[in-house]
Amino acid sequence: MGRIVDLMSQPGNLRYAIAKGFEPAVRGFLWQLVRLRRPRFLFLGRGIKFVSAYNLRLGAHVAIGGYSYIETSAKTPVIFGDNVTLREHAWVQCRSGLNPKGDGLELQRGVYIGPNAVIGVSGKIVIKAGCQIGAGVSFSAESHEFLDGSYTTGATARKGITVGENCWFGNNVTVLDGVEIGAGSVVGAGSVVTKPLPAGCVAVGAPARIIRYTGAHQTEEPV
């Protein structure tokens, strides 16, 4: 208790705590109250736009940063598990206009995703428990098909994306459709992941290639 009192007595700390904790908690409480949901310590930043929130399932202690766009009209419920953090200016889209709905999104317990994330849900996206993902990540669970001599016909394929438990991504990582990343892997900043990665690997570059292993979950030799 003494430590908390000491911190709050320092200039600016109280205002910071109110802006980052109290105000988002009040917004979260009111958001749940209006929608007749049981309060579960939800923290919401300013200016968030929800679309199809009826299909969003929230665990306890979820935090969504300000000025995010959360569109959740998927075929299956969109799930943010306990202690999930989605930072400011996130963009989540499960449907584009009246095109077919996406297959769903699941952010499991303790997932952290930094600011300016882009999550395009066509195929299902699953990010498993404990993943820590830097700012500017892009997940695109759809690929345009080459048809009649062009990629602009609107023909698409949807395979989905899965990220295993306790993975770590640097800033500005892009993950393309059909990718599965094994548990405990590390993906370096600015990498573009175009194909599956085994558990426990360290991958960097565009396209991402394995440079070594962390020692946990190792299944293959680096290439």
Interval 81-91: pLDDT, tens: 999 999 999 99
Which CATH number does 41-210 carry?
2.160.10.10
Q: Is the pTM of this model over 0.85?
A: yes
CA distance 194 to 178: 8
Mean pLDDT computed over 112-135: 97
pLDDT of residue 158: 78
CA distance 70 to 33: 19
If we measure between CA atoms, which residue out of 146, 174, 144, 147 comes closest to residue 161?
174
pLDDT of residue 143: 74
Over its C-alpha atoms, the chain yields an Rg (Å, rounded) of 19
